[in-house]
């Protein structure tokens, strides 16, 4: 059994609605990390290629468009899985779609909780299904930003997942909520939690300061990236301590 995963947290300053510039960053910076550090997974922020834009009709692509094609090629080149989200069009619907792309397969999750205060529901449709990806003997749940506020949606029923990944554009003005809820999700679900947020100022003059991190099921922060800095770092997580902890302290068996 694969007992460990090496995860790269890629905390980006996203170029507003500029896919080409954001892909250049991915290829240069993240490509360098993949070439030298050999991670199993790279996690990008929410809407990594555009920023948190409500211009869904102008920026959307199909799931087989340029963005996913380039990510698939990147995954194949570096033999790595890539996680993030982008603006996707499917028929008459537009989604804030998270992806998990490996060299062999692609999975996606449509953001369920749309950010009411930002008008996201006027530009996107909500997803209706949770998604758990099987990858290297790990079960990994995909969630997006505002989903973090809703514990029922992320409930780890019967320890069905081992790692929960949140990709986000979470503003600096509410970063203490981000910190608190990532910790809560790890503790209450007895799971590893990875949250990757952006930095910089977007096209709506909203400021972001990162705080990307990975937390273990006991609530220990294994990695936290620098505030207000675009950077990438790699952390290794192990599955066997997680399984031992769940066996020794099985609070999940008494869940509602």
User: What residue has token string 């910076």?
Assistant: 29
Asked whether the whole model's pTM tops 0.85, one would answer yes
Say if CB 186 and CB 192 are below 8 A apart. Answer: yes
Catalytic residue ranges: 46, 111, 145
CA-wise closest residue to 59 among 109, 19, 102: 19
pLDDT surpassing 70 at residue 111:
yes
Which residues partner with 69 through β-bridges?
Answer: none
Pair 201, 180: CB distance under 8 Å: no
**pLDDT of amino acid 1:** 47
**DSSP H/E element including 196:** strand 192-197
Domain 4-254 = CATH 3.90.1150.10: no
pLDDT at 253 over 50: yes
Distance from C-alpha of 78 to C-alpha of 93, rounded to nearest angstrom: 32
Q: Look at residue 2 in the predicted model and tell me its pLDDT.
A: 59
């Amino acid at each position: 059994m694969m007992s460990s995963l090496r995860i790269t947290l890629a905390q980006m300053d996203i170029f507003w609605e500029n896919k080409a510039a954001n892909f250049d960053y991915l290829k240069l910076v993240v490509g360098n990390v993949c070439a030298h550090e050999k991670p199993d997974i790279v996690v990008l922020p929410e809407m990594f290629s555009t920023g948190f834009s409500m211009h869904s009709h102008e920026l959307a692509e199909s799931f087989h468009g340029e963005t996913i094609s380039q990510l698939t090629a990147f995954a194949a080149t570096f033999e790595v899985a890539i996680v993030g989200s982008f603006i996707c069009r499917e028929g008459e619907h537009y989604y804030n779609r998270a992806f998990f792309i490996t060299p062999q397969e692609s999975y996606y999750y449509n953001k369920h909780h749309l950010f009411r205060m930002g008008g996201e529901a006027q530009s996107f449709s909500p997803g209706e299904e949770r998604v758990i990806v099987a990858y290297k003997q790990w079960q990994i749940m995909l969630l997006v930003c505002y989903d973090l506020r809703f514990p029922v949606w992320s409930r780890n029923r019967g320890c069905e997942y081992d790692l929960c990944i949140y990709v986000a554009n979470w503003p600096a003005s509410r970063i203490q909520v981000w910190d608190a809820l990532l910790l809560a999700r790890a503790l209450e679900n007895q799971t590893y939690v990875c949250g990757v947020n952006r930095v910089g100022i977007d096209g709506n003059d909203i400021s972001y300061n990162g705080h990307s991190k990975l937390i273990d099921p006991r609530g220990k922060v294994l990695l936290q990236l620098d505030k207000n800095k675009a950077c990438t770092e790699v952390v290794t997580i192990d599955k066997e301590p997680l399984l031992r902890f769940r066996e020794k302290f099985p609070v999940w068996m008494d869940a509602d």
